[in-house]
Amino acid sequence: MLQVTRLDSRTFEVRVDGPPPTTHTVHLAPEYHRKLTGGRASEETLITRSFEFLLVRESNTSILRDFDLQVIGQYFPEYENEILERLG
């Protein structure tokens, strides 16, 4: 289970139920949110779908503890295309 909490306008906390449980700080620039969603999905939805994408590929303990959402594409080049499909 994932819980996404807004900390400020660009920063979110993501809690992933384990085992073991982990907490991650994710930064999301408004421009990147617009690029990926076209305004069709909230920031929280984008981050949730992004973590679902990551958890298929790696364990929660392997996910960086503090990162900018854009960095996912550096590790997984298919990220942006797949997120666009997931968000419809």
pLDDT in tens, 50-72: 999 999 999 999 999 999 999 99
Separation CA 36–CA 75 (nearest Å): 17
pLDDT at position 86 is: 86
**Model pTM?**
0.95
Q: Which residue has the tokens 């909230």?
A: 42
Name the residue ranges covered by the structural domains of the chain: 2-87
Strand order in the sheet with 66-68: 2-6, 11-16, 22-27, 66-68
Below-70 pLDDT ranges, the chain: none
What's the burial of 38, exposed, middle or buried (CB within 10 Å: 0-12/13-18/19+)? exposed
pLDDT at position 82 is: 95
pLDDT at position 33 is: 97
